[in-house]
Chains A and B, each alone.
Chain A
Amino acid sequence: MKAELRYAVRQTLPVMIGYLFFGTAFGLMLQNIGYNFLWAMLASLVIYAGSMQFVLVSLLAGAFNLPAVILMTLTINSRHFFYGLPFLKKFREMGKAYLYMVFSLTDETYALLCSVWIPDHLDGKKVRFFIALFNHLYWITGSTLGALGGALLNIDLKGIEFTMTALFIVIFIEQWISATKITRVPAVVGLLCGLVLRLILGPDRFILPALIVTVTILLVLRPSLDRRSGEKEEEGSSVPSKR
């Protein structure tokens, strides 16, 4: 148990820095429009969706408009639909933690869970659960602190949000290094779809179309990718001297 806790802390360290910072920024903003730290805590506990909560602040500051809330949530968070797919079985096996794992699947938690390598002597279920839980706690802590005393913070932290970008880049590189030529295809497809649709649609509405196009292309390429990675494995095991 202790080893799992320690391992999860180490894995989540980059997210901790990012979430504490973003959480603080959120808490501060919420406090500025007249909601105290309990509200910040509550929002981070039950909503737990970074960019969405910043939208919440602007919605709360204006007149409450339910259709706008619904529309914004659906457009901003619809990317989360894709995050559950790799974990359909893994989360179910986690028993009681199942619903919590689904609830806490943010961008960063998704990326960590996809990329984390679990040593043999550790219980993978516990590590995954702690990763999800710690990230959530960092976020709640950040928001609460931000609402309580964010204004006292004197250091200029502008730019610290880059920790999140760097985290995704590192995970991307790790996956690239450990992949073979054929398993790199999805990464290239994702990158190209992201870039092209960002250029066409602009920064605010490209993410969902980009994901849909990526999945579609992967579905089309799947049979040939499957076949070729199968061939490669056979080649490697039976006729190693072929190349």
Chain B
Amino acid sequence: MAVLTFLLRFLPFLLFGRKERPSPVLDSLNKLLPSAIIAVLVVYCLKDMNFRRIDNFVPELIAVAVVALLHLWRRNNLISIGGGAVVYMLLVQLVF
């Protein structure tokens, strides 16, 4: 398990890392890729939401909105993340 995980992380370096100058395709892909992957990861974090059960999507939606609004308002990572997590914990523990 450890070996395979490391190999998966190492594979791109094996495949593309040797060249002195990365190809232009890879170069511009690397400018585009991070923001796309972060977006996929947001979906990945929320993958277990289930719209057929009210306690399984309402807390998530509210907490996501809280994080977004806090962040647009203060732009402080810790406030947005802390605030969102506290709201989510209160919702899943006390309300739903």
- Contacts A69-B1, A85-B16: A214 and B36 contacting too (C-beta < 8 A)? yes
State whether B22 touches A89 (Cβ < 8 A).
yes
Q: Point out the residues of chain B lying under 8 angstroms from A126, CB to CB.
A: none
| A84 interface hit (Cβ, 8 Å) | yes
A190 to B32, CA, bound (A): 10
State whether B42 touches A84 (Cβ < 8 A).
no
A17 to B38, CA, bound (A): 20
Q: How far is the CB of B15 from chain A (nearest CB, A)?
A: 9
Count of A interface residues, CB-CB < 8 Å = 80
Residues of B contacting A: mostly: helix
From B41, B67, B71, B85, name the one whose CB has the most chain A CB atoms within 10 angstroms: B41
- Contacts A84-B13, A159-B89: A219 and B38 contacting too (C-beta < 8 A)? no
Count of B interface residues, CB-CB < 8 Å = 58
A225 to B31, CA, bound (A): 11
Tell me which of B31, B59, B67 contacts A169 (CB under 8 A).
Answer: B67
- Contacts A158-B93, A166-B63, A211-B40: A85 and B85 contacting too (C-beta < 8 A)? no
State whether B5 touches A222 (Cβ < 8 A).
no
| B11 interface hit (Cβ, 8 Å) | yes
State whether A77 touches B43 (Cβ < 8 A).
no
Which of A's residues lie within 8 Å of B, judged by CB?
Answer: 13-14, 17, 46-49, 52, 56, 69-70, 73-74, 77-78, 80-86, 88-89, 91-92, 102-103, 105, 107, 110-111, 114-115, 156-160, 162-176, 179, 183-191, 193-195, 198, 203, 206-207, 210-211, 214-215, 218-219, 222, 225-226
Which of B's residues lie within 8 Å of A, judged by CB?
Answer: 1-2, 4-6, 8-13, 16-17, 22, 25-26, 28-48, 59-60, 63-64, 67-68, 71-72, 77-78, 80-82, 84-85, 88-93
